[in-house]
Structure 1
Amino acid sequence: MTTEIIATDAGDARITWHRAKKPVLILAVSHGAGGGIEARDLQALARVLPEHGVTVALVEQPWRVAGKKVASAPKTLDVGWRGIWPAVAKAGLPVISGGRSAGARVACRTATELGAHAVLALAFPLHPPGKPEKSRADELLGAGVPTLVVQGGNDPWGRPEEFPEGAYELVEVPSGDHGLAVPKRAEISQEQALEVLTAGVVQWVASLG
């Protein structure tokens, strides 16, 4: 594991690299508006994917690196993501653009522009809790590249059955909330929930060719 600071027009971002021995793909993935790269799903992917030929670049947006507690506006998040892209693309390997929650929105909005190979959207915030009329489906449907959504079955920001039909795949984590946490009474354990996530992503990555 290595880290590097990347200067962007939104401030300094930080990349923590989890490298595969013989990488064939790179997954650049960032956090949401309420947390950082310590999120359970991001850490699970960083542990598992390098064994399958995928180097994982965990990206901290400039607002997190600067120690701020409130996320930047969406346009500023996009600026930060554009700024780190040359660093993740310089190896010449196909890059999957990914993120959780607000980071998933960034990945979808910028995928075509940046030439992403695909998009991984973790806990995509389809709408604010209790406000299904404020849908962000257009961002997801507009990614323009192969897309996988991994969504908790009880995510108040969008349950799997609320998602519109479209050209993307969806893996449901049973009983998972927006952080893909499952309650103790759930039919699966937290460890099993993360296995659903990682197995789904590994299978999807293998299908990308």
Structure 2
Amino acid sequence: MSKAREAGIDGDQYVREQSPEGWLWGRPRGEPRATLILAHGAGAPMDSEFMQHMAQNLVACGVALLRFEFAYMAARRQDGKKRPPNPQAQLLEQWREVYHQVRQQVAGPLAIGGKSMGGRMASLLADELNVDALVCLGYPFYAVGKPEKPRVAHLAELKTPTLIIQGERDALGNRQTVQGYALSGAIKLHWLTAGDHDLKPLKSSGFTHSQHLLSAAEAIAAFIGREQDAA
């Protein structure tokens, strides 16, 4: 297993490892408080700028992080050709495979989640897999411009402790619209001021993107830590 330092994080805090499966591991020095499997969104890979920053922040907060790519994105990495996401059944099956492999490799709390589509796919499996927690970053509550067709039916019945971190002006789920949904009591919503789908705030908000990404990581680490303590 090869190892390389992740830019921007001191080597004493963060070791990046690429596994034989092609996954990216980020591990804090010392015992992690939990492990999180984080899937990418529909249009960007596991090492996009957003995913890199979240990985750095999460590991700095003591969370071991695994990133993987769905088959369609891995194929794009090989030949450079853009493809639409695989059918939902295939995405879910790959999630199952990755989860079961990781569960055999790590001890302690194991959470799943993802950016946008990756988080939505994780949410469809969280109860089935009996994971310790679910984390979604920029959840796609509806397609752009179609708030009248929400994708929330399963979220009303979700039993897994869940943290959804959402920008207030997310085009796939803004605060005003989402607050009208009937969501499970297991779901906690963490709103970021003036944030968009990538959690990037308006300059007029007084916040920076880096601040919001760090706030998101701190919220995730605290949430997973509370679930571990309650177990």
TM-score over 0.5 for the pair: yes
Deviations 1:86-114 (A, max 9, x none): 22211232210111111111111111222
Which residue matches 1:10? none
Asked if structure 1 preserves the Cα contact closer than 8 Å seen for 2:167 and 2:195, the reply is yes
Asked if structure 2 preserves the Cα contact closer than 8 Å seen for 1:44 and 1:198, the reply is no
Which residue matches 1:76? 90
Which residue matches 1:11? none
Aligned pairs for 1:6-45 (under 5 A) are: 6=21, 14-20=22-28, 21-45=30-54
Q: Assess, with a 3 A threshold, how the Cα gap between structure 1 residues 85 and 113 changes in structure 2: closer, same or farther.
A: same
Note if 1:193 corresponds to 2:215. Answer: no
Q: Assess, with a 3 A threshold, how the Cα gap between structure 1 residues 140 and 44 changes in structure 2: closer, same or farther.
A: farther
| DSSP 3-state at the match of 2:41 | coil
Asked if structure 2 preserves the Cα contact closer than 8 Å seen for 1:94 and 1:117, the reply is yes
Which residue matches 2:66? 57
Which residue matches 1:112? 127
Larger Rg: 2
Whole-Å separation in 2 of the counterparts to 1:174 and 1:187:
9
What percent of counterpart residues are identical?
A: 27
Whole-Å separation in 2 of the counterparts to 1:62 and 1:28:
16
Note if 1:48 corresponds to 2:57. Answer: yes
Asked if structure 1 preserves the Cα contact closer than 8 Å seen for 2:141 and 2:151, the reply is yes
Asked if structure 1 preserves the Cα contact closer than 8 Å seen for 2:38 and 2:112, the reply is yes
Q: Which of 170, 173, 180 is equivalent to 2:189?
A: 170
Asked if structure 2 preserves the Cα contact closer than 8 Å seen for 1:25 and 1:54, the reply is yes
More deviation, 135-144/87-96:
135-144
Which residue matches 1:102? 117
Asked if structure 1 preserves the Cα contact closer than 8 Å seen for 2:136 and 2:164, the reply is yes
The total of aligned residue pairs comes to: 202
Whole-Å separation in 2 of the counterparts to 1:40 and 1:148:
22
Letter in 1 for 2:139: F
Question: Scaled by the length of structure 1, what TM-score is found?
Answer: 0.88
Whole-Å separation in 2 of the counterparts to 1:56 and 1:143:
23
Asked if structure 2 preserves the Cα contact closer than 8 Å seen for 1:119 and 1:143, the reply is no
Whole-Å separation in 2 of the counterparts to 1:43 and 1:36:
10
Please, which runs of 5 or more residues in structure 1 have no aligned partner? 7-13
Letter in 2 for 1:150: I
Asked if structure 1 preserves the Cα contact closer than 8 Å seen for 2:57 and 2:213, the reply is no
Whole-Å separation in 2 of the counterparts to 1:129 and 1:153:
15
Note if 1:138 corresponds to 2:149. Answer: no
Q: Runs of 4+ in structure 1 displaced over 4 angstroms?
A: none
Please, which runs of 5 or more residues in structure 2 have no aligned partner? 1-15, 77-81
Q: Assess, with a 3 A threshold, how the Cα gap between structure 1 residues 66 and 43 changes in structure 2: closer, same or farther.
A: same
Shift of residue 172, structure 1, vs aligned partner? 1.0
Letter in 2 for 1:166: S
| DSSP 3-state at the match of 2:67 | strand
Whole-Å separation in 1 of the counterparts to 2:209 and 2:70:
27
Shift of residue 198, structure 1, vs aligned partner? 1.8
Q: Which of 144, 158, 171 is equivalent to 2:173?
A: 158
CA RMSD of aligned residues (A): 1.8
Shift of residue 141, structure 1, vs aligned partner? 3.2
Question: Scaled by the length of structure 2, what TM-score is found?
Answer: 0.80
